[in-house]
Amino acid sequence: MRYVTEYRDAGLVRGVLDEIHSTVTKPWVMMEICGGQTHAIMRHGIDQLLPSQIELVHGPGCPVCVTPLELIDKAIAIASQPEVIFTSYGDMLRVPGSGTDLFSVRAAGGDVRVVYSPLDAVKIARDNPDREVVFFAIGFETTAPPNAMSVVQAQAMGLQNYTILVSHVRVPPAIHAILGAPHNRVQGFLAAGHVCAVMGYWEYKPIAEQYGVPIVVTGFEPLDIVRGILHVLKLLEGGRAVAENAYSRAVTFEGNQPAQQLIDRVLEPCDRKWRGIGVIPESGWRLRREYADFDAETRFGVEEIRPQESPLCIAGQILQGLKKPYDCSAFQVQCTPENPLGATMVSAEGACAAYYRYGHRVSEG
């Protein structure tokens, strides 16, 4: 595969790893923001090849993991209604709400469908005019443009039966929350390449200056990740707190302007609750008033659902980089991918699932 195979070249990766080993002089704590990067690190075994002085902690960048419990309960309540076709990205189906999950709703007769894009959900709405079609619009800046586009398209097509259940989140406010926390240990960030492909990295410049931490835009293949780590390391060792780009084949400083304009047209900033972390000011997007007709929460009257989390789950501290999955008493015991207590064990990008799938048995063995 062009543009993938090259970035998995073992020789090139080892070369960068050698340079990391020869550059590091003292211990550093870095956070990879994105859950996709967490999985790539575990899947390729990158963490085992780093010098012991570099500690990687895993960030909150898993959209499935941070989607608050009440929103999942709202999704379940909507999906259970007989007139509804509930559409979602696949990995939301197994995330436990406070009582059940979307898979179980489907087994009980609910019409829950996996789609690969919200534009597919719009097509389903067009083809089923007598049904209410709802799309579960979660995610970071990466999925916001297609989700916004689906609303614009539905409006242009005059569809009355399409709504989205919105729980969008944004990376920069989360970084503020992590760096502003009293027990913060993170000294440098690998910023999420896909998010920056949409948003650029102009938003990170003032954060790097304000907190004195380097932030480097990083991709997802092994070579991208080790280059991102080396870049952060060099900035840390050189005492430079700036935002720079190690993923220039996909990311520019300004980002994708039409996509940003589309987001701005349909969505507006709002305070958002992050699962396990709490409310972060201005950290999310919701539908603008002009598009209120497309808001599933109001159409189905589910605004008042307020559930409780499992008391055992420490996903919130894991998502803030304060703890690791091994620190959790429920990890591998009460909490497994088959029976997850929290979303970090469910999603393909969740830190607990990554440790469970790729890591834990190596350390046992």
Partner 1 sequence: MEDEQEKVVIHGLVCPRPLTHYETVLLGHGSGGKMTRDLIEGTFYPPFENPALMRGDDAAVVAQPEPGRLAISTDSHIVSPLFFPGGDIGHLAVCGTVNDLAMVGARPLWITASFILEEGLPLVILEHVTASMKEAAGEAGVDIIAGDTKVAERGKADGMFISTTGVGWVPSDRAVSGANAQPGDVVLLSGPIGDHGIAVLAARGELAFETALESDIAPLNDLVEKMFDSCSSIHVLRDPTRGGLATALNEIACQSGVAIQLDEEKIPVRPSVAAACELLGFDPLYVANEGKLVAMVPAEDAETILQAMRSAPYGEEACRIGEVEAEPSGKVLMRTAIGGTRVVDMLSGEMLPRIC
Q: Which residues form the interface with partner 1 (CB under 8 A)?
A: 1, 4, 8, 10, 13-14, 17, 36, 42-49, 63-64, 89-94, 103, 114, 116-117, 120, 138-140, 142-143, 194, 222, 336-338, 347-349, 356-362, 364-365
Closest to 267 measured CA to CA, from 294, 297, 244? 294
DSSP state of 59: E
Q: For residues 253 and 140, what is the distance between their CA atoms, to the nearest angstrom?
A: 18
Q: Which residues on adjacent β-strands are paired with residue 163?
A: 134
Cβ 1 to partner 1 shortest distance, Å: 5
The H or E element that residue 227 is part of is helix 222-237
Cβ 193 to partner 1 shortest distance, Å: 11
Cβ 119 to partner 1 shortest distance, Å: 9
Output 92 or 208, the one with its CB closest to partner 1: 92
Output 80 or 347, the one with its CB closest to partner 1: 347
Cβ 54 to partner 1 shortest distance, Å: 14
Closest to 342 measured CA to CA, from 72, 112, 74? 72
**For residues 291 and 166, is the Cβ–Cβ distance under 8 A?**
no
Nearest-10 Cα torsion for 333, 336, 341, 344: 120
Output 304 or 364, the one with its CB closest to partner 1: 364
Question: Which residue in the block uniquely carries the two structure tokens 């497994």?
Answer: 336
Cβ 222 to partner 1 shortest distance, Å: 5
Output 142 or 320, the one with its CB closest to partner 1: 142
Q: For residues 177 and 268, what is the distance between their CA atoms, to the nearest angstrom?
A: 20
The H or E element that residue 269 is part of is strand 267-274
Cβ 296 to partner 1 shortest distance, Å: 18
Output 80 or 142, the one with its CB closest to partner 1: 142
Output 88 or 187, the one with its CB closest to partner 1: 88
